Chain A
Amino acid sequence: MKKIINEPDRFVDEMIEGILLAHPDLVKTPGTDPRVLVRADAPLAGRVGILTGGGSGHLPLFKGYVGMGLCSGVAIGNVFSSPSSQQIFEATKAISGGAGVLYLYGNYGGDVFNFDLAGDLAELEDIPTQTVVGRDDVASQPNERKTDRRGVAGIFFAYKAAGAAAERGDTLEEVAAIAEDVVEHTATMGVGLSPTIFPTTGAKSFDLPEGEMEIGIGIHGEPGIHRGPLETADAIADRLVTALIADLDLTAGDRVAVLVNGLGATPLEELYVLYRRVHQILTGLNISIAKKYVGEYATSLEMAGASISFLKVNDARLALLQAPAKSPFFEEV
């Protein structure tokens, strides 16, 4: 294992320290716990706070999306493990501006457990909360059980839309409804080429023989739906896009936002090779691309691979995507 780290056990805290030192104008630690990060101007009086959180190892998810027009705060766990309910509760208090707090995070058991507990603690402090979980990974469950799906890169769309709604002063119910609407119209599928190496143990997140790929693999190495010899970029794009079109039931005349996401070790060049094919397929089907994002939006440390996410847009969703936002890892002007 070759990594640029110091003490493996200090990896997460030193990474957070680095973010704070690099972006003091955008984010801060409100209390004594370094695992709670909020936007520098939090709390915003009268505005809904949006809290996300989850394990480390996925930058820019989750910490990278704390800022204007996005999330108000984040509770940070160890690599691939949930933050504690107390950390989530501390973050809730730090971003509460009197209009309630939306919990918006990926659908994983540990995170659901701790966010729910924190919601109870928040209720005791008279801070109303609502919860929307990202659940866009098409490969993790069939369409009939889509509410059980895992959350992956597509949660970015929900951050962007809900964040814009909170920024303009929508109520908690309205912000939650917007997040839910976006989640409902988002689908993602990924491909893995090589695993993540855990910094503390040196263990791999999954095993994949040389020359093979796995379609539908999760961002913690959860098993996918197809394993086989590595294919060309175009063939991979065909597989992923076909699944997403079917899942979202897209037809000619529909509009989508496209996110081609790198999982950590795959170069931007290859993401653009993928995007090229995605663009060709959609244009060929007369589905228009209203907004596009290409880069690293949700990673799995040094996992090689990529994911493609679609959000089916209408005028309302598109306007929220286009609203201004600024965080350490994302900016829309």
Chain B
Amino acid sequence: MRPVELNESIRRSLAELVGYADELRDLDQALGDGDLGVTISLGANAVIESLTTLADDATPAEIAKTCAKAFANANPSTMAALVAGGLLAGSKTWAGLTEIGTADAGRFIRAAGENIGQRGKTQIGDKTILDAIMPAADALEVASDGTSGLDAAIAGAERAVVETRDLQSRRGRASWMQERSIGLQDPGATAFWRYLESWRAAESVAAKGKELA
């Protein structure tokens, strides 16, 4: 994927993601403070706006850093800063790249997840966004092509999201609920899964558009 295509794909997928804002808000209200819907919708729109004005010759790493900066500043919160830090860490795996392949996406996501884990002192199974990120990274890194890799990443993330329902929250505000958090689906992990789904939906709409044209 060339930088211009990457830029367009991110924008299309984030426009899709905003449609999940209410679901994320409701999940977060049950488990946290309910601001995840706003963080995602304001953040997504801010990223779309900043990518629209980004120069065509921006590298993949520059595109990722632009996303990070816009997301962090849109609705300041711990989640926004964690995601921004993750994107920054991911962008470093793209240094020098002029095109992005499926395995590059996997490496990016892994580095982002590792940064989030390190900053938040979080491990897989703590019922956080990390639970969905790492299976997706695993799937993308070994995929033979983009379509099957994305499908496998979505399947892995979805499985992890469903599994978070049986887990007790160990990090962040949700951990204050202790055993009462069991039975509730983690909003952060859901957000990441929904983003992958948004990417697939946006790509398929774009592909249909190309067929018609």
Chain A interface (Cβ within 8 Å of chain B)? Answer: 84-86, 89, 109, 113-114, 116-118, 120-121, 123-125
Contacts and interface: CB of A to CB of B under 8 A. Distances in A.
A124 B82 contact: no
Nearest to B75: A86
9 contacts: A84-B76, A85-B78, A113-B121, A116-B85, A116-B119, A117-B82, A118-B81, A121-B69, A124-B88
Q: For the complex, would chain B's binding face be called helix, strand, loop or mixed by DSSP majority?
A: helix
Contacts of A86: 76-77, 81
B132 interface: no
Nearest to B80: A86
A124 B121 contact: no
B85 A120 contact: yes
A147 to B, nearest CB: 16
Contacts of A85: 76, 78, 81
Chain B interface size, under 10 / 10 to 19 / 20 to 34 / 35 or more: 10 to 19
B72 interface: yes
B68 A124 contact: yes
Contacts of A123: 88
Nearest to A123: B88
Interface in B29-81: 65, 68-69, 72, 76-78, 81
A198 B89 CA distance: 39
A61 B121 CA distance: 27
B125 interface: no
A86 B73 CA distance: 8
A118 B78 CA distance: 10
Interface of B: 65, 68-69, 72, 76-78, 81-82, 84-85, 88-89, 115, 119-121
Nearest to A118: B81
The winner among B78, B85, B89 for most chain A CB atoms within 10 A is B85
Contacts of B65: 124
A117 B86 CA distance: 10
Given A84-B76, A85-B81, A120-B88, A113 B68 contact: no
B76 to A, nearest CB: 4
Given A113-B119, A113-B121, A120 B69 contact: no
A121 B119 contact: no
A69 B195 CA distance: 48
Contacts of B68: 124
Contacts of A114: 78
Nearest to B85: A120
A121 B84 contact: yes
A77 to B, nearest CB: 13
B69 A125 contact: yes
Contacts of A125: 69
B78 to A, nearest CB: 6
Contacts of B88: 120, 123-124
Shortest 10 CB-CB distances between A and B: which pairs?
A120-B85, A86-B76, A117-B81, A85-B81, A124-B69, A121-B72, A120-B88, A116-B119, A124-B68, A117-B85
A215 to B, nearest CB: 30
A214 B157 CA distance: 50
A124 B119 contact: no
Contacts of A109: 121
